[in-house]
Amino acid sequence: MKTALTKEIEQSLIFATRANEPGIYGALEVTLGEGYGTERIDYMTMDTKNIFRCYEIKISKKDFYSKAKLSFAGDYNYLVLAQDVYNEVKQDIDIKFYGIGVYVYNGYDLILKKRAKQKTVHIGQKIDLMYCMIRSLSRYTIMEALKSD
């Protein structure tokens, strides 16, 4: 079950990444891997130049330090942290996540604290990401269809 804070951050991410505008496509909870998948990206965007950006949301210090797998599969990858979590863990971000960008949610907006370094994602991997994104987006189609019944 998602917390209210997670939902707020997700909504802010959609607007901060401009996925509500033409040319940028966003999806929440993109499952990677075949079948039911092996890992999940909290939020992912793809633009018309086939650049993928992945975002992992962390709303607690415990969540930040957990052993849960983080899916940094995009050309650019970001941590999205609540302000209080960022204040507690900022000294460990570069050590634990070199090259990963950081957004901080201040209760209203997302503030970019650190730009991500570009990672090389080969065409085969991009096709897999596109497939996984489409598969994950189909959940919303099904949910909308069920609402109308």
Closest by CA position to 121, among listed 52, 70, 42, 58: 52
Task: Enter the tokens of residue 22.
Answer: 């033409």
Q: What is the pTM of this model?
A: 0.90
- Domain interval for residue 13: 4-147
- Which of helix, strand or coil describes residue 53? strand
The proportion of the chain whose per-residue pLDDT surpasses 90, expressed as a percent, equals 62
Number of domains within the chain: 1
8 A C-beta contact, residue 6 and residue 19: no
The predicted-structure confidence for 24-68, as pLDDT tens digits, reads as follows: 999 999 999 877 777 899 999 999 999 999 999 999 999 888 877
- Which of helix, strand or coil describes residue 148? coil
